[in-house]
A and B are shown apart, each in its own frame.
Chain A
Amino acid sequence: MSDAVYSILWLIPVLPLLAATLIAFLGPRLLKQHSHWPCILAIATSCVLSVMVYWHVQGAEGDAPASVASYYPWIQAGSGPYAVNIGINLRADALSSMMLVMITFIGTFIAIYSIGYMHGDPGYPRFFAAVSLFVFAMTLLVLGDNFLVLFVGWEGVGLCSYLLIGFWFSKPSAAAAARKAFLVTRIGDVGLMLGMLLLWMMYGTFNFWDVNDAEGNLLYSGIFNQVERQLQLGTLNQALILAAALLLFCGAAGKSAQFPLHVWLPDAMEGPTPVSALIHAATMVTAGVYLLARCTPLFLAAPDAQLIVACIGGFTALMAALTALTQNDLKRVLAYSTLSQLGYMFLALGCAIKFASDTNLVTFAVTAAMFHLFTHAFFKALLFLCAGSVMHAMGHVIDMRRFSGLRKVMPITHATFLCGALALAGFPLLSGFWSKDEILDACYQASQEGPYASVYFTLLVIAIFTAGLTAFYTFRAYFKTFWGEVKVPEEAFHHGHGHDDHGQGHSASHGGHHEPKTSHESPAVMTIPLLVLAVFAVGVGFVLGPLTHGFAHFLHKTPGWPHMTEEHHMNIPLMLMGTAVVFFGLGLSWLMYVKQPELPVRLAASAQGVYQLSLNKFFFDELYQGTIVTPAEQVAKLSAAVDSGGVDAVVDAVGLAPSKLGELFRPIQNGLVQFYALAMVLGLTVFLLSLIYKL
């Protein structure tokens, strides 16, 4: 088995890569409207393989750390202090195998859904090629056993995100959003890269863990092992470790859209909706959370960094939830809710602190973050796909003011959206409820002791308040879309599921399965993934959550996470409090958007300032435009002037030097063979004399 698992580990990323290559080369000419087959087959096979790896790790004895690893030495060079030893090392432990299963499982269903959603788009092959490439990069990211492989995956998902946000590149807003996403995450990537280099300087390796060969000799030494050793010996350089942790967090904040690098995610909704579901809700944006969970041993050594992570997470959760209250674009509401939920996850990660010798909270908090990541992936993917289904039916209109009462028009979409919304709101017993409760609990425990207890207590209050806001804005979107009188925008009748608004559409109708002049439910290829994901969104928390501890027990096998000495018990009062807040938010939205629909307008008018602040996303875009983008452009112009005026002259002069030097030597090459022989003899003589009379 173990040998088979090694090759399986390779296949998981390689299959989607092959599919991507295949579609890229054959898609436009040969596969055309069948381009989805390689993609779906590859991702589904990867999913099966991931489950096999999962079982292999799950089957390991007891609570001991378990993993499957595969090493390929990529380059070995130099010796002594400059030795370089880099491998393409893959390792699946509990954390990464759970991520793998999640990515490939959700990926498979989103790919199936895309068959219906992208049907007839001229870029059909390109879409599936990019999705396959994305799954390759993402699985590589979580499988990497050193920072370098992780970084390759990290940049790979960034590239795919760019390609897919700008999928309809002829639309200016899509192109601008793609560029913005790429540039903003790039700021974070620079931090990640600096963090990696700092760790390299400190430990001389990119590997996470020690690697031994069959005889038990050390092949590579790992960063985390060295940190743990130094922590025991007390020789850890606190300042440098803090800097490294914060730089890594900077990378995570960029990728996971945390304040202040959050501005790209809402704009990223310009991409096709399956992309929003897969990349910008379920998988890629959680890479930052994964990175921090992966680096738990490092962050354990830097408690100050944890505080900053928690504060940023809490702030993002609150700010994004407030923004989501007033957005009119269904996808944007969901995007801000993603921001907010990611903030929750970082908040939980930040609670992973160590009290004296008690490390129970560390593992508990990181598990809570990962659990929320896991449940969030299902219900948020579901919600986005439902939004996509609505968009598909409404002729790509996504403004909630333009449609309403769709529960009669689209019954399946309505039912599944409700499942997702309840899960997101944290309705009792649904998946979001369990994971959110664990985060609140982690926060509560962190506020019990330590020098920063009061800070964590404030964060707990914010988190509970945000839970209420979440329920409110989720159901605001739900009621506005699916309740009230039936209202369908004009575009829905013109082209059933055309893409004309992207400027590259096809007016010819495809398939006569819908009557013109009526709006309709989406085709089965889209609704079946919705139903599957709905089942998981409802049930996954119940099955794996605190009731059974299934998720926690499995995840605790991750190497490097402190062993939990006592079983965690549910915090019933906190749970009740959270539930009360959720019900309050739910009730309020029902009151405002079903019972008395005129109430929101009155409220908005009476609190104009606050309303505008929220509607305009706290003016972050304008703030950045004014303080960063415009000055940066000015500086760029100035630099350009200085460069073309001053620097170029110097550079030209420097560049001229070698060729002037060359001119000096040119006459020697005079084409006379006797002279060449003479030069050889002269050279020989010089060598001889210098050697004999010592240099």
Chain B
Amino acid sequence: MSPDLQNALTDFIPQVVPEIVLGVSACVLFLGATFRVSRHVWGVFALVALTLASFALIATIRSLPLFTEPPTTFDKSKWPLYAAPVLFTPLALFFKVVGLVTGFLLVLLSWDEGGEDHAGEYHGCLLLLVAGIGLVGAANDLLTLFLALELISLPTYLLLYLPRADERAQEAAMKYFLLSVFSSGLLLFGFSYLYGLTGTTNIPALLDMFASGQERLAPNPEASTQQPWVGVTLLALVMIVAGLGFRITSVPFHFYAPDVYQGTTTPAAALLAFVPKIVGFAALLRILGYVPGLSAFERPLGTAMGEQVPMLLWIMAAVTMTLGNILALLQDNIRRLIAYSSVAHAGYMLIGLAVVRYLANAPGESVGGVEALLFYLVAYGAMTLGFFAVLHYLDSPDRPLESVDDLAGLGKSHPSCGLLLTLFLLSLIGMPLTAGFVGKFLIFFDAMGLSSQNAEQARLYRILALIAALNAAVGGWYYLRMIGVMYLREAIDPLPRPRPAPVVATIAVCATLTLGLGLFPQSLLQLIRDALPRPNAQLVARAADEGQAVARE
């Protein structure tokens, strides 16, 4: 075995120490839970494990270099690192941090969840999820990526099943399992085509090969779409987008969401609303090569095929947000309603993905779409987790909180809970001074502000911004309806006063984030901007030339 190869196989291990810590802790939990039944012991253990993983992450940042440069340099010693299964990039760091914070919030949120006897397994699954998020963010190889995604799917099945064993929960878990396996199959199918075309599973190498292959095979972009390998690549990309579309609940892969959210418990629904979205978008960004500068590729894979993949994302965004919003209008069950709302929000986020190609063309500008998408992701996480946390806090076995009508009179009977729910709902609507507003603002602005190099594209995306604005207005209705029910209607049977619980910490953090990011968005935006490499200057200049050439024709 050549030393280079050996290095490639072992050098990455220090980069995944936080994930290793989490994995080992999860094993301890699975084992320990058979010996001792206590939700508090295992809950505290999970928090300790997450804290340890955080320290491990800090140590990793201190000791390891972040990969910010593309491997085009002739420094051969770095090549094995780029061939490694994981790559510690600034963006990976961002996802790791988001994952850990989400982990803390979820452990606190589901502290009292389900039977005491399953608490250990439950928290073990949560830790595996967090490890999975970190690995997806760092994945540098199709296989790692797939494994990391499965590391999230498998515990999710358990999490849906563990806390409640009644018929509806089982049905929900079963539905999710079947469709999730199906979508994983699609994803793997897409991956296998990519491997067949290029002979590698290393993502930078793969992206490079497509870019240079296009240069070699078809210097003329018009003719390139006629090449036989282009068709196969498109097939692979559609498969991948479909497989990941399931995780981000994009139409038409969203069908499971309402049934599963309704059938399962509130903490599990909160988890399903956020975690798969993080990893789905992380994986899409990576595979479509939408994070510029990280590899030597000349053009992102998603755009090597011309306008088609952005167009596909355009359509998905428009359909997803519209369908999500209008179906949410008809719902009475809160979790089902939020399921559709999460579909709608996935649509808004897809806009951020769809505009990337065009925004990266503007010299000196930031990456645009990607940063808006990441900001929206964090904002969405804060407000949705917060909303579910308040619901869970108010929920009790004798008086379940199921339908919108159950919220009646909450503004009077539980003033602070009512106020917090209102805050999260206003943020979901996108009211100014909340995180949700800034997220929508950034996304809409990116869609509106496409450079006028390509007038037709700019018009198309302005239409998308218009659709999004109309959707935001429609969305306002069902969120406001909940606020109206809380404050304008009297409760026939008021909810009991909840006991103090660790979930309060989750609510506090989410509320602080929702308000703080609304008031001082620049703090997070700057972090995201620093995490994203700037577009390669040469690439930008060339794209601009091409744009002008097209305009002249």
| Identity of the chain B residue whose Cβ is nearest the Cβ of A676 in the assembled complex | B255
Residue B252 lies at the interface, judged by CB distance under 8 Å to chain A: yes
Question: Contact: B182 with A677, CB < 8 Å?
Answer: yes
B411 interface hit (Cβ, 8 Å)? no
Say which residue of B183, B225, B242, B445 sits within 8 Å of A82 (CB atoms). B445
Interface status of B47 (Cβ within 8 A of chain A): no
Q: Confirm or deny: B197 has a beta carbon within 8 angstroms of a beta carbon on chain A.
A: no
A78 to B258, CA, bound (A): 34
Is B325 in contact with A658, judged by CB distance below 8 angstroms?
yes
Interface of A is mostly: helix
Cα distance, A673 to B235, chains bound together (Å): 25
Say yes or no for B442: interface residue by CB 8 A criterion: yes
Is B312 a contact of A78 with CB atoms below 8 Å? no
A680 at interface (Cβ–Cβ under 8 A)? yes
How many chain B residues touch A (CB < 8 A): the figure is 55
Query: Residues 658-675 of chain A: 1 if any B CB is under 8 Å from the residue's CB, otherwise 0?
Result: 110111011011010101
Given contacts A665-B323, A676-B175, A680-B183, contact A80 B362 (CB under 8 A): yes
Inter-subunit contact B179/A677 (CB<8 Å): yes
Q: Which residues of B contact A72 (CB under 8 A)?
A: 522
Check B329–A80 contact: CB distance below 8 A.
Answer: no
Interface-facing stretch out of B101-109, B448-456, B482-490: B448-456
User: Are B186 and A673 interface neighbours, CB within 8 A?
Assistant: no
Rounded to whole angstroms, the CA-CA distance of A655 and B470 in the bound complex is 12
Contact of A680 among B241, B253, B450 (CB under 8 A): B253
Interface string of A70-114 (1 = CB under 8 A from B): 001111111111111000000000000000000000000000000
A682 interface contact, C-beta 8 A = yes
Whether a CB of chain A sits under 8 angstroms from the CB of B268 is no
Given A662-B326, A669-B255, A676-B175, check contact A77 B186 (CB 8 Å): no
B452 touches A684 (CB 8 A): no
- CB-CB < 8 A to B520: which residues of A? 74
Alpha-carbon separation in the docked complex, A76 to B312 (Å): 28
Give Cα A81 to B175, complex, Å: 47
Does residue A687 face the partner (Cβ distance < 8 Å to B)?
yes
CB distance B451 to A79 under 8 Å?
A: yes
B255 touches A679 (CB 8 A): yes
Closest CB-CB distance, B462 to chain A, in whole Å?
10
CB contact under 8 A between A658 and B452, given known A687-B238, A691-B308? no
A676 and B182 CA atoms in complex are apart in Å by 11
A residues near B522, Cβ cutoff 8 Å:
72-76
- B179 surroundings in chain A (CB, below 8 A): 673, 676-677, 680
Cα–Cα, bound, A656→B487 (Å) = 23
From residue A689, how far is it (CB to closest CB) to chain B in Å? 10
Would you call A691 and B238 a contact (CB within 8 A)?
yes
* Cα A662 to Cα B235 with chains together (Å): 31
Chain B residues, CB < 8 A from A676: 175, 179, 255-256
Shortest Cβ gap from B190 to chain A (Å):
10
Tell me if B532 is interfacial: C-beta within 8 Å of chain A. no
Which residue of the partner chain, among A84, A680, A695, contacts B252 with CB atoms under 8 Å? Answer: A680
The interface residues of chain A lying within 8 Å CB-to-CB of B174 are 673
* Chain B residues, Cβ within 8 Å of A665: 323, 326-327
What sequence of 0s and 1s flags, for each residue 39-77 of chain A, a beta carbon within 8 Å of any chain B beta carbon? 000000000000000000000000000000000111111
Residue of A nearest to B521 (CB): A75
B residues near A688, Cβ cutoff 8 Å: 234-235, 238
Per-residue CB proximity of B318-347 to A under 8 Å, as 1/0? 000001011101100000000000000000
Q: How far is the CA of A690 from the CA of B313 in the complex (A)?
A: 13
Contact indicator A671/B450 (Cβ below 8 Å): no
Closest to B311 in A: A695
Given the complex, which residues of A lie within 8 Å of B438, measured CB to CB?
A: 75
> Is residue B365 contacting chain A, with contact meaning CB distance below 8 A?
yes
Q: Are A77 and B258 in contact (CB under 8 A)?
A: no
| A692 sits at the interface (CB 8 A) | yes
Q: Is B474 an interface residue (CB 8 A)?
A: yes
A673, B171: Cα distance in complex, Å: 10
Question: Does B20 have its Cβ within 8 Å of any Cβ on chain A?
Answer: no
Q: How far is the CB of A381 from chain B (nearest CB, A)?
A: 34
B-chain residues with CB within 8 Å of residue A658 when the two chains form the complex: 325-326, 329, 474, 477
Residues of B with C-beta under 8 A to A668: 255
Cβ 8 A contact of B448, one of A82, A659, A683, A690: A82
Chain B 360-376 residues near chain A, CB threshold 8 A: 362, 365-366, 368, 372
Partner of B449, one of A78, A669, A690, A691: A78
| Contact, CB under 8 Å: B330 / A662 | yes
Is A29 part of the binding interface, using a Cβ–Cβ cutoff of 8 Å?
A: no
Determine whether A513 belongs to the interface, using a CB cutoff of 8 Å to chain B.
no
Contacts of B50 in A (CB 8 A): none
A window 621-665: CB within 8 A of B? 655, 658-659, 661-663, 665
Q: Which residues 246-278 of B have a CB within 8 angstroms of A?
A: 246, 251-253, 255-256, 258-259
Q: Which A residues are CB-close (under 8 A) to B404?
A: none
Task: Output the least CB separation between B352 and chain A (Å).
Answer: 12
Known contacts A687-B242, A692-B234; A663 and B450 CB within 8 A of each other: no
Q: Is B231 an interface residue (CB 8 A)?
A: yes
Residues in A with CB closer than 8 Å to B26 are none
Q: How many residues on the A side are at the interface (Cβ–Cβ under 8 A)?
A: 40
Q: Please report the C-alpha to C-alpha distance between residue A655 and residue B238 in the assembled complex, in whole angstroms.
A: 36
A100 to B451 CA separation, bound complex (whole angstroms) = 43
Q: Which chain B residues in 470-497 approach chain A with CB under 8 Å? A: 474, 477
Say if the beta carbon of B446 comes within 8 Å of chain A. Answer: yes
Q: Report how far A675 CA is from B186 CA in the complex, Å.
A: 17
Is A694 among interface residues, defined by CB-CB distance under 8 A? yes
Task: Provide the residues of chain B in CB contact with A659, threshold 8 Å.
Answer: 326, 329-330
Please report the C-alpha to C-alpha distance between residue A237 and residue B259 in the assembled complex, in whole angstroms: 61
| Chain B residues whose C-beta falls within 8 Å of the C-beta of A84 in the assembled complex | 445
A680 touches B441 (CB 8 A): no
Partner of B452, one of A80, A655, A682, A690: A80
User: Could you tell me if A691 and B312 are in contact, using CB atoms closer than 8 angstroms?
Assistant: yes
Q: Which residue of B lies closest to A677 (CB)?
A: B182
Report yes or no: B231 in contact with A692, Cβ–Cβ below 8 A. Answer: yes
A495 smallest CB distance to B (angstroms): 38
Q: In the assembly, what is the distance between CA of A310 and CA of B238, in Å?
A: 69
CA distance A691 to B174 in the complex (A): 33
Q: Is B284 an interface residue, CB under 8 A from the partner?
A: no
User: Is B353 located at the chain interface by the 8 A CB criterion?
Assistant: no
Interchain CB contact under 8 A, A81 and B178? no
Partner of B330, one of A74, A79, A80, A663: A663
> What is the bound-complex CA distance between A662 and B234, given in angstroms?
32
A661 to B186, CA, bound (A): 31
Residues in B with CB closer than 8 Å to A82 are: 445, 448-449
Q: Is the CB of A77 within 8 A of B327?
A: no
Q: Provide the bound-state CA to CA distance between A56 and B178, in Å.
A: 71
Bound-complex Cα distance A331 to B465 (A): 55
CA A687 to CA B314, docked complex, whole Å: 12
**Residue of A with least CB distance to B305:** A691
Q: How far is the CB of B529 from chain A (nearest CB, A)?
A: 9
Q: Which residues of B contact A690 (CB under 8 A)?
A: 312
Q: What separation, in Å, do the CA atoms of A80 and B326 have in the docked complex? A: 33
Q: State how many angstroms separate the Cβ of B200 from the closest Cβ of chain A.
A: 24
Contacts of B445 on A, CB cut-off 8 Å?
A: 77-78, 82, 84
B346 CB, min distance to chain A CBs, angstroms: 14
In the complex, B525 has a CB within 8 A of chain A: yes
CA–CA, A78 and B451, complex, Å? 10
Known: A81-B449, A695-B308. A673 touches B175 (CB 8 A): yes
Instruction: Enumerate chain A residues within 8 angstroms of B178, measured Cβ to Cβ.
Output: 673, 677
Question: Which of B225, B441, B452, B522: most chain A Cβ within 10 A?
Answer: B522
Q: Could you list some 24 contacts between A and B, CB below 8 A?
A: A72-B522, A75-B438, A75-B522, A75-B525, A77-B441, A77-B446, A78-B449, A79-B366, A79-B449, A80-B452, A655-B477, A658-B326, A658-B329, A658-B474, A658-B477, A661-B326, A662-B330, A665-B326, A669-B259, A673-B178, A677-B178, A680-B252, A691-B234, A691-B308
When A and B form their complex, which 3 residue pairs have the shortest distance between CB atoms, in order from nearest? A683-B252, A78-B445, A82-B449
Task: Beyond A73-B522, A79-B359, A688-B238, list 4 extra A-B contacts (CB 8 Å).
Answer: A78-B445, A79-B449, A680-B183, A692-B234
